[in-house]
Amino acid sequence: QLNAHAWTEVYIADKGWQRYDPTAAVAPNRINRGSPFGSARNTQSIALGARWENDSAAYRQFSATFRALNAFWQNWILNYDSDKQNSLWQRLGLGAFKYVAWLLLVLALIPLLLLIYWWYRRRQAARFGDDIYHALQPLLRHLDNHGLPIKPAQGLRDWLGENRSTLGEAHKHAENVVKHYYQCRYQHGETVSAEALAALNKAIALFIERHRLVLRQKDKA
């Protein structure tokens, strides 16, 4: 279709019906020989891409594939209407159950989308945080929930000094958390030992438990 071209036939006395191209867009030999490009395929009047398609089987295959994909895009994406939907369901033998089939398809896609979302969140968490960062998450959530958030760019020691009086008896456990955190972060090189990480997790759990007890005592008072 890309290289399609039509011409007329003219009756000439003493010669009969002759092929004739009134546009003069191609070489006359092309018409007589029935060749897409005829003897003029190497002339400047023929587009470079057209000459490649005539000379190269690989280029012809690529060009045909591209046109097929473009036709698919036009027919099944841009111009996909209700008639084509019905035609597709009929060919699949689901014409009478197309709405049920759509519903089943959507229900099947929901778990897949949830799985992709879960994988993406896990990947983001692994990308933007190490084991120490993940160990601190319960502590950070607890502090946020009770109005004691660690401010941006604020270290744990600075936060502890600012909130020591607010923590009450839990401040000793907070000091233990700070101690284990800095040991994990700065005294174990790039790799943190499982024992040091377990000690940090235990210190955080003890602080949260003690701080909740302090808060309950304040509520009773």
| Residues 13 and 86 placed together within one structural domain of the fold | no
pLDDT tens digits for range 94-141: 655 556 667 777 888 999 999 998 888 777 665 545 788 888 899 999
d(CA 24, CA 38): 14
36 and 69 within one domain: yes
Same domain membership, residue 103 and residue 41: no
User: Is the residue at 1 inside a domain?
Assistant: no
- Has residue 23 been placed in a domain? yes
pLDDT digits (tens, 9 = 90+) for 50-91: 666 666 778 778 888 888 888 888 877 767 777 776 676 677
216 and 138 assigned to the same domain? yes
Please check the confidence at residue 39 and state whether its pLDDT lies above 50. Answer: no
One domain, residues 150 and 211: yes
pLDDT tens by residue, 150-197: 888 888 889 999 988 888 889 999 999 999 998 888 875 667 788 988
- Domain hosting residue 93, numbered range: 82-126
And the tokens for 141?
């959530």
Question: Looking at residue 119, what is its pLDDT?
Answer: 85
Does residue 168 sit in the same domain as residue 210? yes
Claim to verify: residue 74 and residue 86 sit in the same structural domain = no
Q: Do 65 and 38 share a domain, yes or no?
A: yes
pLDDT at 45: 47
Contacts for 183 with CB less than 8 Å, ≥ 6 apart: 196, 199, 200
Domain tally for the chain? 3
The C-alpha torsion from 139 through 140 and 141 to 147, rounded to 10°, is: 110
**185 and 154 in a common domain:** yes
- Based on the domain organization, do 158 and 207 belong to the same domain? yes
